Amino acid sequence: MDLSIRDITYCKNVGAHRADILRKELKVQTAFDILQQYPFRYVDRSKFYKIADIQDEDTAVQIIGQITEWHPVGIGKAQRISATFNDGSHTCELVWFQGIKYLKLALNTPYLLFGKPSRFNHEWNFVHPELTLMSKVTPEMTQGLEPIYETTEAMKRSGLNSKGMRQIIASLMPDLKQSGVPDTLGMDVLMKNHLMGLSEALVNVHFPKDIASMQRARERLKFEELFYIQLHILRQKKSHEQRVGFPMPIVGRFFNRFYKECLPFELTNAQKRVVKEIHGDLKSGRQMNRLLQGDVGSGKTLVALLCALLAIDNGYQACIMAPTEILANQHLETLTHLLKDMPEVKVALLTGSTTKKQREPLHEGLRSGEINLLIGTHALIEDEVQFANLGLVIIDEQHRFGVKQRSKLWTKNETAPHVLVMTATPIPRTLAMTVHGDLSTSVIDELPPGRKPIQTFHYSILRRRSINEFIRKQIGLGRQIYVVYPLIKENEKLDLQDLENGYNTLCDTFPEYRISMVHGQMKAKDKDAQMQRFASGETQILVATTVIEVGVNVPNASVMIIENAERFGLSQLHQLRGRVGRGADQSFCILLTRTELSKETRQRMDIMVATNDGFRIAEADLQLRGPGDIDGTLQSGLPFDLKIASLATDGQILMQARQAASDILDADPTLEDEYNRIYKRQLNHLRITTGHYSGIS
């Protein structure tokens, strides 16, 4: 029977009970689904070890030897079996805690032992090793690479450990080899990219002849995953590009007046360029979906305002959506300040703290079109917020917004408004192509003039005394200081305690200064009041959790001290550092950690000290953290899950897959051609089976 419809219950070595567990733990239904549980590594079974050669606990080894004696240890439940295994020159201990009743051990008979060694009392031993009598060892068993599968605790309890999975998958091999499975890629794509067919790849990913065929199999499977993600995204991009958008051809009195009379400084060339790019989209008659990337401090807010003015010039409303209330408030303040000589632009704020009473006139103003520019948080996308003619939506600091939230804006009008997503998180190219592959991109790759690069230092907490002196000196020069503590959700209470202790210590150390404190647990009103005191210069030090990470702008603050820096990821450290270096003064970032650091943490600190370049940091971040640990929002931004491909390391395959997808869509944008049916069908299938993706189309 076709493997793609064969219920796992009826696969060999499964049965009703295990089938339940497999469905629950791995979400698999059919034999074909099981075949898509790829091994995460392989063990070379053609290699034999001697006990004396064992190096570490990480590598499973196989050894030929004999059991010279065995005996029970302990009594009752705690009883275990201990045996001595001799490879001809050395001995080691074998231990069994479970299934003792069924254990049959032949003495002084050659066995093939296979297992992971562990170190105990300076000796190697093996817990629950696989033992096979040499007389029963088949040539296949010691040939090539043995697949190792990831399994869960619940699976292990039902014998579905790596070996159990291997047995199930092995028993599917004869059918797979004989009848195969329908391929999910067309002949043209396979040939052009020198890829294995699907059936061959499935055989070789599980039971490879050799390393070369394993690698080719994995390459093919990775290609397929990335190909369908790209096909999906590029198709969406094409349909966006055809979507009608509000025409905004006019550069009118709002924009011109602001540009000529209110601009506090000359735009950087990069700012000018991206405004032009965006204006090109706005006047095109098609809907804009553009990503604006610019490192922290590159001046995105001003670009946002100029774009909003273009929309207003053309008779539309615009809104700017920020991820936090602090940021929304700050945007309001910055923008009202910039627009202080242009009272004809009506700006309003809507956040979670906006009261019912304030909302009524606000809603009215939005419905009548009297309000031109609305600034706010998530509250903006609530259903009761209706605009007269929303023409442009600007989303700031996108990494806090999921694709779903973005798509909700679409439903506000019949014609979708133009969308500009601004992010300060530089995203490596491969990731950007995947997560934001449906957007066009503009980059502000230049900082406003006169900025001195931030100097970054990494110190252990043993240097605290000299750091305190440094703080004193900087405040003496009229500067202000941030001190940031990590806040990690799982341990919120303890983190808050850290913060409060830090605050108290600072108060004791610097009785002559005033100190503000903000954290996420505070009421928005109190938070704002504290921020305000710092922004106005009333306090010299701001102690905060990462609530200040995003976007806060106090140009006079020139020192960022990050406590427990080892607990922050690279991109977070970079964001935090971006809070300083916004004025003309030399700015500093001090990373404080404990003395003992893991290698990875040390590398992270070194990168921060070495460079201010957000893109370099983002690349390093992806390499260091690996693909499994990419920011949750980014992961959930993927249309389909990745089982085998890695955005961190498979950039080459990704580019190839994107090209293949793009070639197909160029020739046949809607995938109507007979020989492209396969792609359309597979896309639909993926959407149904793995789609946690709301889609933007």
Q: Which does 267 bind (CB under 5 to 8 A by kind): Mg ion, ligand ADP, none?
A: ligand ADP
- From Mg ion, ligand ADP, none, interface partner of 294 (C-beta below 5 to 8 A by class): ligand ADP
- Cβ proximity to Mg ion: between 34 and 320 the closer is 320
Closest CA to 428 of 237, 659, 655: 655
Give the DSSP H/E element, type plus range, for residue 433. helix 429-435
User: How many chain residues bind ligand ADP (CB under 6 A)?
Assistant: 18
Pattern 655-694, ligand ADP, x by CB under 6 A: ----------------------------------------
Shortest gap between Cβ of 435 and Mg ion (angstroms)? 20
CA distances from 206 to 182, 259, 356, 436 (A): 18, 63, 61, 33
**Residue 662: C-alpha distances to residues 290, 637, 640 (Å):** 19, 20, 18
Establish if 272 lies at the interface with ligand ADP (CB under 6 A): no
User: Smaller CB distance to Mg ion: residue 65 or 376?
Assistant: 376
| Binding partner at 302 among ligand ADP, Mg ion, none, C-beta below 5 to 8 Å by kind | ligand ADP
**From 302, 306, 327, 483, residue interacting with ligand ADP (rule: CB under 6 A):** 302
Least Cβ distance, residue 672 to ligand ADP (angstroms): 43
Indicate which single residue of 186, 252, 402, 555 sits in contact with ligand ADP (rule: CB under 6 A). 555
If binding is defined by CB under 6 A, does position 613 make contact with ligand ADP? no
CA distance 142 to 636: 41
Site string for ligand ADP, 15-34 (x = CB under 6 A): --------------------
Going across the sheet that includes 347-350, the strands are 347-350, 373-376, 317-321, 390-396, 418-423, 289-294, 440-444
In sequence order, the 6+-apart residues with CB closer than 8 A to the CB of 177 are 199, 203
| Smallest distance from Mg ion to CB 396, Å | 6
Which member of 40, 120, 265, 675 binds ligand ADP (CB under 6 A)? 265
Give 327 or 409: the residue with its C-beta nearer to Mg ion.
327
- Which of 40, 38, 43, 41 has its CA nearest to residue 202? 38
Q: Which stretch binds ligand ADP (CB under 6 A): 67-75, 290-298, 472-480, 498-506?
A: 290-298
| Residues 522-551 contacting ligand ADP, CB under 6 A | 551
Give me the 434-463 binding string for ligand ADP, x by CB under 6 A, dash otherwise.
Answer: --------------x---------------
Which listed option, Mg ion, ligand ADP, none, makes contact with residue 637 (CB within 5 to 8 Å by class)?
none
Helix boundaries (H) for 89-161? 153-157
300 binds ligand ADP (CB under 6 A): yes
In the complex with ligand ADP, the residue whose CB is nearer, 39 or 583, is 583
Element (H, E) at 179: helix 162-179
Which segments within 116-167 are labelled E, that is strand? 117-120, 123-127, 130-133, 145-148
Q: Which of residues 343-382 bind ligand ADP (CB under 6 A)?
A: none
Structure tokens at 362: 């606000």
Q: Decide: is 299 part of the binding site for ligand ADP (CB under 6 A).
A: yes
Kindly state the smallest distance separating residue 426's Cβ from Mg ion, in Å.
14
Q: How many helices (H) and strands (E) does the chain have?
A: 23, 22
* Minimum CB distance to ligand ADP smaller for 502 or for 581: 581
Which listed range, 69-77, 239-247, 266-274, 653-661, lies at the site for ligand ADP (CB under 6 A)? 266-274
* Residue 420 binding ligand ADP, by CB under 6 A: no
Who contacts 337 (Cβ-Cβ below 8 Å, separation ≥6)?
A: none
267 binds ligand ADP (CB under 6 A): yes
Which of 129, 144, 297, 614 is in the footprint of ligand ADP by CB under 6 A? Answer: 297
Size of the site for Mg ion (CB under 5 A): 1
Burial state string for 52-72 with b = 16 or more CB within 10 A and e = fewer than 16: eebeeeeebbbbbbbbeeeee
Binding residue (CB under 6 A) for ligand ADP from 271, 398, 571, 572: 271
| Region of 299-307, 531-539, 612-620, 637-645 interacting with ligand ADP (CB under 6 A) | 299-307
Helix/strand/coil (H, E, C) string of 578-608?
CCCCCCCCCCEEEEEECCCCCHHHHHHHHHH
Is residue 587 involved in binding ligand ADP (CB under 6 A)? Answer: no
Nearer to ligand ADP, 222 or 574 (CB): 574
Give 390's DSSP letter: E
Q: Which of Mg ion, ligand ADP, none does residue 593 bind (CB under 5 to 8 Å by kind)?
A: none
Query: Could you write out the three-class secondary structure of 316-376?
Result: CEEEEECCCHHHHHHHHHHHHHHCCCCCCCCEEEECCCCCHHHHHHHHHHHHHCCCCEEEE
Q: How far is the CB of 285 from Mg ion (least distance, A)?
A: 30
Rounded CA-CA distance 141/162 in Å is 15
Q: Least distance (Å) from ligand ADP to the CB of residue 551?
A: 6
Q: Name the residue number minimizing CB distance to ligand ADP.
A: 299
Q: How is residue 302 annotated by DSSP? A: H
- Residue 118 is classified by DSSP as E
Positions 492 through 551 that interact with Mg ion (CB under 5 A): 551
Residue 555 binds which of Mg ion, ligand ADP, none (CB < 5-8 A, kind-dependent): ligand ADP
Burial label, 22 (beta-carbon count in 10 A; 0-12, 13-18, 19+)? buried
Min. distance of Cβ 396 from ligand ADP in angstroms?
7
Q: Site residues for Mg ion, window 429-448 (CB under 5 A)?
A: none
Binding track, positions 550-579, relative to Mg ion; x by CB under 5 A = -x----------------------------
Distance CA 255, CA 525 (A): 33
H/E element, 460:
strand 455-460
Partner from ligand ADP, Mg ion, none binding residue 271, C-beta < 5-8 Å depending on class:
ligand ADP
140 closest CA partner among 170, 162, 169, 180: 170
Taking the C-alpha atoms of residue 57 and residue 60, their distance in angstroms, rounded to an integer, is: 8
Q: Which two tokens stand for residue 601?
A: 């943490």
Tokens 């809607």, residue located: 670
Residue 293 binding target from ligand ADP, Mg ion, none, CB below 5 to 8 Å by type: none
CB of 236 to Mg ion, least distance (A): 27
Chain contacts with Mg ion (rule: CB under 5 A)? 551
Chain contacts with ligand ADP (rule: CB under 6 A)? 265, 267-268, 271, 294, 296-302, 424, 448, 551, 553, 555, 582
